[in-house]
Amino acid sequence: MSEGAAVSVVIPTCGRSRQVAAAVKSALAQSYAPFEVIVVIDGFDPETISVLGTFGDQRLRLITLEKNVGGAEARNIGIRSACGEWIAFLDDDDTWMPEKLKRQMEVAASVSALFPIVSSKLLDLRAGMTRMLPYRLYEKGEDVSEYLLCRRGLGYGGGMLQTSTLLTKRDLLLDLPFLKGLKLHQDWDWLIKAARRPDVEIAMAPEALTVMYVDEQSGSVSQSTDWKASLEWAQEARSVMSRRAYSFFIATECVSRARKNGAGVKVVCELLRTYFQDGHPSARSLVLFLGFLLFSRRHRNIRKRRSRKSFLTGKTEMMTGYD
């Protein structure tokens, strides 16, 4: 890594002028000053153009798209337009700690591979609660699909390489762009594919360098009930993920979305069939399959709150998961 290597920040956005303004401010305020901050406005959004037009920082560049192309292609457009050797991603509703880029560039300098992918822990803010995630850092050489997808409980947060924490070289992203048109799991798709390359190494800073704001009522992509889109992605990506990771994905992502969607017995049978036939089932993933099928988010949250209370009062910890 060359001294003072240029970093371009890419932020896709649409219809979130207040949130993206906060994201941009946190990027421009980095102690390791970015070469540029590129905001890709994904479709007609005059309010965001107006708000960001008041910043007066020459490092801020706006790319306005006539039609909505989705988050994956919006990132690709920002990458192709960037001038920096390195790309750091930031979602429009997240922010960075002031030392985020500095610490990650230090971590990148310690990686011997041609293409480091550097992540970090983050602060998860939702419903008045703050958690530091992930609970476990990625270990060098670990199967990335299993790190990301093989949960240890009904909640997420055990293994995480969230988009707003990612920094890597532009050349890698040009050679391996985000999959255009993918509705869900864009970051997982890219990470699992990238990690299979022999010239790529994933590393993590142990500090929380990103703040992720979660509005569970926002109807965001992560709250989608489109189980079919999740299943289609898993089936397309089976060749790049382990069979064990595939079973966990079906048991958690697909089943939870199907339940929220009100899917019937036929859908459950279809998911159960591919869970056994195409994956590598385990006792833990089967328990999760049944847990997501039988318990709503409300019931899972009640159990988690009781478990935390038990922990704080010195009683036996009974948590079913990380979340």
pLDDT reported for residue 152:
86
Mean pLDDT (whole number) for 193-217: 93
3-state SS assignment for residue 196: coil
Q: Which of 149-158, 266-275, 305-314 has the highest mean pLDDT?
A: 266-275
105/131 same-domain check: yes
Cα–Cα dist 260/106, whole Å: 42
Whether residue 152 is found in the same domain as residue 256 = no
Smallest CA-to-CA distance from 204 within 161, 170, 163 is with 161
CATH of the domain at 183: 3.90.550.10
Go through the chain and tell me how many residues it has.
Answer: 323
Q: What is the structure's pLDDT at 301?
A: 47
- Please tell me the distance from the alpha carbon of residue 289 to that of residue 249, in angstroms, as a whole number: 9
DSSP string, 254-295: IHHHHHHHT--HHHHHHHHHHHHHTS---HHHHHHHHHHHH-
DSSP state of 237: T
Convert the pLDDT of each residue in 233-256 to its tens digit: 999 999 999 999 999 999 999 999
Q: Is residue 162 within 8 Å of residue 122, measured between CB atoms?
A: yes
Same domain, 148 and 256: no
Could you say which of 155, 190, 213 is where a domain stops?
A: 213
Residue 305, both tokens: 């709150």
- Residue 220 domain-assigned? no
Greater pLDDT, 132 or 310: 132
Confidence at residue 215, expressed as pLDDT on a 0 to 100 scale: 80
Q: Which pLDDT score is estimated for 314?
A: 40
Last-in-domain residue among 213, 233, 249: 213
pLDDT band at 297 (very low <50, low <70, confident <90, very high): low
Q: Is residue 218 part of a domain?
A: no
Element (H, E) at 132: strand 129-133
282 and 244 together in one domain = yes
Same-domain pairing of 200 and 260: no
Note the pLDDT tens digit of each residue in 1-43: 445 799 999 999 999 999 999 999 999 999 999 999 999 999 9
Ordered DSSP codes for 217-232? TS--GGG---HHHHHH
Shared domain for 194 and 295, answered yes or no, is no
Domain that holds residue 195: 7-213
Looking at 180, 213, 246, which one is the last position of a domain?
213
Calpha distance 271→266 (Å, rounded): 9
What is the model's pTM? 0.89
Question: Which phi and psi angles does 65 have, rounded to 5°?
Answer: -95, 140
| 139-184 residue pLDDT tens | 999 999 999 999 988 887 899 999 999 999 999 999 999 999 998 9
Number of domains in the chain: 2
Within 13 Å of residue 38, how many CA atoms lie on the same side as its CB?
Answer: 25
pLDDT tens digits for range 84-110: 999 999 999 999 999 999 999 999 999
pLDDT average, residue stretch 109-113: 97
> What is the model's pLDDT at position 290?
96
Whether 135 and 274 share a structural domain: no
Query: Using CA atoms, how far apart are residues 52 and 59, in angstroms rounded to an integer?
Result: 12
